[in-house]
Structure 1
Amino acid sequence: MAKKDKADKKGGKKDKAGRKKEAACEVASGAFAPIVTQTARSLRTLLSRNLADCGLYAGQDGVVQALAEEDGLTPGALAQKLGVKAPTMTRTIGRMEAQGFVERRADTLDHRLTKVFLTDGGRASLERIAAAAEACEREALRGLSGKEAKTLLRLLLAVEENLQAAIGRH
């Protein structure tokens, strides 16, 4: 009987562990999207506050960084690269032009096209954008070990790939 009791207890532990894992999956499946969404909002809010010190508004950092990679993009190309709608990008460019970060110029080959270029002020903001992003990242990852931060990044990249694949299928 003692052997049977031990076997039952062992089996019970396995069942209990299995139930815990299933329960964790249920909690994760119901909580995953809201947690990731709220985390992204909080991250963006903190980054926006940090960027405000540079004179930039939310989303403008992406425009500066995209133009730093490839200056002279059309508003449509910028919108596509940053995943926003063209009218949103047009408003953003207008605001950034008024702030002195970018300028619009007619394309030298096709005068019907308008291209967006960084100004000296826009280029000067790159270091401040990087510093604002680094400060935000430090806060977000505070208390995590380097290994945990790398694992989190790897897992988030895997989730992003899954989501992009699902978007592509629809």
Structure 2
Amino acid sequence: MAKTEDLPFGYLLNDVTLLFRKHFDRRAVKFGLTRAQWRATKMLHHREGLRQTELAEYLEMEPIAVGRVIDRLQAAGFVERRPDPRDRRAWRLYPTEQARAVIGDMEQIGRGLRKDATQGIDYDELARALAVLTRIKNNLQALDQPAEEATARTDSQGDGA
């Protein structure tokens, strides 16, 4: 009997991700933002005033890497750091008017790329695929939880006994 673990899909997911990134970067180069910079800018657009560590969590990146991204965005005029009124050692991050001016254009690039990438795929088919990928992501994230949390989770699921 065939098993899901016998279907190799890791390389395919990686290839799709690399191709998506390549084509996004080609389309977005005119704005002078890398994909990482765009992700940080978009996150700050939706959640103004985050601290660098909070932004790193949302982006699933290391804080030091996010710091470099923010340094470049600040130098390019897309982000400003403001002192945190509750913690004088910390900074809050805000998109500038320059960043706000390109948000719509960058989102349009993303929509256009998604349209091109999903050509010939209907909505329900893509929705099912995304649901499966979300479950795979959740399964992989659960592997990072401490063993006692995983044990508690399986105990709470129980077998009805």
TM-score (norm 1): 0.78
Q: Residue 90 of structure 2 aligns with which residue? A: 113
Following superposition, the deviation at residue 168 of structure 1 comes to: 2.2
Unaligned stretches of 5+ in structure 2? 148-161
- Please point out which of 138, 141, 150 is paired with 1:161: 138
Q: 1:86–1:142: structure 2 CA closer, same or farther, 3 Å change rule? A: same
Task: Report the 3-state secondary structure (helix = DSSP H, G, I; strand = E; otherwise coil) of the residue aligned with 2:50.
Answer: coil
Alignment of 1:124-135 (within 5 A): 124-135=101-112
User: Aligned letter for 1:127?
Assistant: G
How many residue pairs match? The answer is 147
Q: Which amino acid aligns with 1:36?
A: L
Q: What does residue 139 of structure 1 align with?
A: 116
**Quick check: 70-79 or 44-53, which moved more?**
44-53
Q: Deviations over 1:117-147 (max 9, x none)?
A: 1100111121012111101111211121222
- Name the structure 1 match of 2:66: 89
* Structure-2 separation of matches of 1:115 and 1:155: 36
1:65 aligns with 2:42: yes
Q: Structure 1 or 2: larger helix share? A: 1
Q: Partner residue of 1:123?
A: 100
| Aligned: 1:55 with 2:28 | no
- C-alpha separation in 1, matches of 2:105 and 2:45: 14
1:38 to 15, 26, 33: 15
Q: Specify whether residues 23 and 152 from structure 1 end up closer, same or farther in structure 2 by C-alpha distance, changes over 3 A only.
A: closer
Matched residue SS, 1:126: helix
SS at structure 2 position matched to 1:113: strand
Greater strand share, structure number: 2
1:93-115 deviations in Å (ceiling 9; x for gaps): 11111111101121233322112
User: Which string of whole-angstrom CA distances, capped at 9 and with x for unpartnered residues, describes residues 42-79 of structure 1?
Assistant: 11221222222222112112111211122111111111
Deviation at 1:169, TM superposition (A): 4.8
